[in-house]
Amino acid sequence: MEDKYISKQMVNRHKLVIDNREKMEIYGVLHVDSFDDREIILETEQGLLAMRGEELHIKNLNLEQGELTVEGFLLELAYSEMKGLRKDRGKSFFERLFK
């Protein structure tokens, strides 16, 4: 019974670890909205997260555990409001972020 409680507690915890701007480990990931080698947009426990960089590659994705590992050169990170609370549906992520 305790194991289920601990694993649920870990999934609901958002954590971001960056190692030399070349490797990112993200915990509390709910969904990956889009990705390419320059930008990854994902939904986390703390809202939308946009990662921009060069040669970004998803090395590990486990949505059951809420874990994502990305390698590449990180240039920018930006959080936005929770996905379900969006009021500006027709605008792009960065238009909403930089009002």
CATH of the domain at 60: 2.60.40.2000
Q: Pull the structure tokens for residue 50.
A: 């946009």
Prediction pTM value:
0.71
* Number of domains the chain contains: 1
Q: Using CA atoms, how far apart are residues 4 and 59, in angstroms rounded to an integer?
A: 27
What was the pLDDT predicted at 5?
44
Is the alpha carbon torsion for 70, 75, 78, 84 positive or negative?
negative
What CA–CA distance (Å, rounded) separates 81 from 50?
11
Low-confidence residues of the chain, pLDDT below 50?
A: 1-2, 4-11, 83, 85-86
Residues spanned by the domain of 36: 2-97
Question: Are the beta carbons of 63 and 33 closer than 8 angstroms?
Answer: no
